[in-house]
Amino acid sequence: MPATVTPEQARAALDHKGVSIAEFSRKHGLNKNLVSDLLNGRIKGRRGEAHRAAVLLGIKDGVIAQ
């Protein structure tokens, strides 16, 4: 099971890959403001799209239901 990362580490990983928040959001069909809120620690990503985004970013360990 992969270890989770902090929002700061997730943002640094996107920067390291040269991927913007908007590009990551488009690729995964997410709202860019929601992704930004997760990376800035304003929301936790407990349910719905926020949960899915947190799991994709590696901030949260979880399952994405299809």
pLDDT tens-digit map of 20-43: 999 999 999 999 999 999 999 999
Of the candidates 46, 50, 47, 41, the one whose C-alpha atom is nearest the C-alpha of residue 5 is 41
pTM: 0.90
Q: Does residue 35 fall inside a structural domain?
A: yes
Q: Does residue 60 fall inside a structural domain?
A: no
Domain that holds residue 33: 5-55
The pLDDT value recorded for residue 2 is: 64
Tally of structural domains, the chain:
1
